[in-house]
Amino acid sequence: MVAALFAAAVAGPLAGAAAAAPPEPPASYYGQATVDGDPAPAGVSVSAVVDGSVVATIETNADGSFGGPGAFADKLDVPKPDAENATVTFRVAGEPTGVSANWSSGSATELSLSVSDDTSPSASIDAVSAANVGNTVTFDASATDNVGVTSLSWSFGDGASATGSSVSHAYSSPGTYTVTLTASDDAGNTVETTTTITVSPAPEPPEAPADDADEPTDTGNDTTDEPANDTADEPSVNVTLSPDATNVSVSTVPANDTAAVAFPETNATATESTTLTGMNVSTTENTSLNLSVSVSDDPAAEAPEPDTDDGGEVVTYIQVDHDVSDESIGEVAFSFTVDESTLAERDVAPENVVLDRYHDGTWNELETTHIGTTDGVATFEAVSPGLSVFAVRSGSASLNVTDAALDTTTVAAGESATVSVTVENDGTAAGNTTVELTLDGDQVSTQTVSLDAGESTTARFTVTPDAGTYEVAANGVTAGTLTVESETTTTTQSTGTTQSTTTVPPAEQSQLDTTALVVFGGVAMLVVALFAVARRRQ
């Protein structure tokens, strides 16, 4: 009996001290979402919000439901908020529903959420701004909406119309037409966006050679049969001027051949600082060209301004509208000049001038060569894979993480590891970048690094993670695997087995020692009392 009392007295306090409280289960929500009284379409976002921040998101099914009541069904799971008695509110398609609930651990609550869709879609046109009579032109649309775009309709400005995200149309008469795109959602919200297209007359076919053009020339010498110098296959280039553009018409260019265009110095192809002097266009198939070329200090309407955070500065814009597909263009070589005084004002060396091309929604730096500087004018050549909008600019920065390394691969819990990250700027201008350090893909720290052109530096991060194993990386460049050991020690038994012993913090150890003394004291007093009773009975 004494042994049993002793075991129970000792085991109780020890078990209570060692137990750890498990994390609280989340509060879960499911139910039905409606938009303007109808079930929300599939894929609409339902969000839980605590203190103004979205903490959980789930998407609707085709019938407007989100989650389900079953034990294994997905739900909108909201983890325990930091604040006690927190209130959870809900949004559908980003719109407040007016529904709220108190957070309760482990609860599963069915909700009925409804909103009115008052948000119009947004839409844009991937514009084609020039064409010839009879040529088929393809217009592409991009549109988004918080609930969903239900229709895209087009008006081509000549009485014709179409529907869809990608449509084609051929104009029968020359002129300038306004193309209108209307995007609608299920609630009847609409938005319109427009672009203009200039339609030129169809190019005149090349004149047929004379009937006797192919007959050999009689030189009076029967032993000599040299062909005449026939230039009928060379493309014919016709340049006409308008107040705002230089129009270029090129007769059929044979496949893998080049049409050379020289521009007169006019207001259409020159600014105070920059002049476009020439352009050589090669083709991949037999095709004719109709181009509208303009040079301006103002940004082109068809493209956003280049990002100058990388240190580059735009000098001039060049816009080339065309009626031929990119697939028909092999390569385009531009020749242009920039006044040396303009470069001096911007503190830019001619070697750092580049030509950028806007294509597929991004600006891309082209291979650009400084040919030389004569009489205060710097001459350049640049090669492009196609025609679109271009920007003459000072060089841009290009900062990248090239290496990352850990100073150690194993630390004890509470100890720190250092990560060294190498950043290089292989661009042609000063700039900066943000270096993000991640553990298993989760961002834990950032640093902003600024470098001049051609410079490199090492950024150092210190991390002190919890026990575990982590893949460490900086901007996607792997630094290695870091193992953080817990406070568990091992003791080797004589049998060769290993037993884990948890190290108890000093405060808890003191508490256990005191409890044990009380228990042992009580047991000792009980043993003395039992011994005294036994002697009296003798």
Q: Residues 308, 424: one domain? A: no
pLDDT at 403: 96
Domain ends where: 379, 394, 409?
A: 394
* Residue 534 within a domain: no
Residue 431 belongs to some domain of the structure: yes
Give the pLDDT of residue 114: 94
User: Does 384 lie in the same domain as 281?
Assistant: yes
- 3-state SS track over 212-271: CCCCCCCCCCCCCCCCCCCCCCCCCEEEEECCCCEEEEEEEECCCCEEEEECCCCCCCEC
Do residues 245 and 367 both lie within one domain?
yes
Strands 399-406 and 362-365 turn out to be: unpaired
Q: Which domain holds residue 66?
A: 27-115
**Domain termination residue (choose one: 99, 115, 131):** 115
CATH code, 369: 2.60.220
Helices H / strands E in the chain, number of each: 3, 39
Same domain, yes or no, for 351 and 461? no
**Which among 227, 231, 171 is positioned nearest to 199, based on CA atoms?**
171
Q: At what angle do helices 2-18 and 506-537 cross, to 10 degrees?
A: 170
Q: Do 385 and 304 share a structural domain? A: yes
Residues 149 and 283 in one domain: no
C-alpha distances (whole Å) from 137 to each of 43, 148, 155, 449 are: 33, 27, 13, 46
| DSSP letter assigned to residue 41 | P
Report percent pLDDT > 70 for the chain. Answer: 79
Task: Note the pLDDT tens digit of each residue in 53-110.
Answer: 999 999 999 999 999 998 889 999 999 998 888 899 999 999 999 999 999 999 999 9
pLDDT band at 491 (very low <50, low <70, confident <90, very high): very low
Q: Is the separation of the CB atoms in 414 and 386 below 8 Å?
A: no
531 SS3 class: helix
pLDDT-derived band at 494, boundaries 50, 70, 90: very low
Is residue 412 domain-resident? yes
Distance CA 21, CA 477 (A): 38
For residue 214, pLDDT over 60 is answered with no
Decide if 258 contacts 282 (C-beta within 8 A): yes
First to last CA, the chain: 21
Query: How many C-beta atoms surround the C-beta of residue 167 within 10 A?
Result: 20
Looking only at the bridges linking them, the beta strands covering 246-253 and 237-241 are: antiparallel
Is residue 163 in some structural domain?
yes
Residues 298 and 417 in one domain: no
Tell whether the torsion through CA atoms of 64, 66, 68 and 72 is positive or negative: positive
Asked if 437 and 415 sit in the same domain, the reply is yes
Contacts of 186 by beta carbon, 8 Å cutoff, 6+ apart: 35, 36, 38, 41, 117, 147, 148, 150
Q: Flag whether 438 is in a domain.
A: yes
Query: Do 364 and 288 lie in a common domain?
Result: yes
Tell me how many domains the chain contains.
4
pLDDT digits (tens, 9 = 90+) for 282-331: 999 898 889 999 999 998 888 888 876 666 789 999 999 988 888 889 89
Look at residue 532 and tell me whether its pLDDT is greater than 70.
Answer: no
Q: Say whether both 154 and 179 belong to one domain.
A: yes
Amino acid identity of residue 479, one-letter, is: A
335 pLDDT more than 90: yes
- Where b means 16+ CB within 10 Å and e means fewer, 125-150 reads bebbbbbbeebebebebbbebbbbbe
pLDDT at 79: 94
43 and 180 belong to one structural domain:
no
| Pair 274, 418 in one domain | no
The enclosing domain of 138 has a CATH number of 2.60.40.10
**Binning pLDDT at 50, 70 and 90, where does residue 518 land?**
low
Residue 47 has pLDDT above 50, yes or no: yes
Range scoring the smallest mean pLDDT among 27-31, 346-350, 482-486 = 346-350
Q: Which residue has the higher pLDDT, 461 or 203?
A: 461
508: alpha, beta or left, given left = phi > 0 and alpha = psi -120 to 50? alpha
Res 220 pLDDT > 60:
no
The residue written with tokens 């869709």 in the block is 117
Residue 285 resides in a domain: yes
Q: Which of 74-78, 111-115, 372-376 has the least mean pLDDT?
A: 372-376
Residue 47 lies in a domain: yes
**Predicted local distance difference test score (pLDDT) of residue 58:** 96
Is 205 within the bounds of a domain? Answer: no
Of 91, 115, 139, the residue at which a domain comes to its end is 115
C-alpha distances (whole Å) from 303 to each of 140, 148, 363, 474, 515 are 15, 26, 9, 32, 77
Rounded CA separation 116/96 (Å): 9
CATH assignment of the domain containing 93: 2.60.40.1120
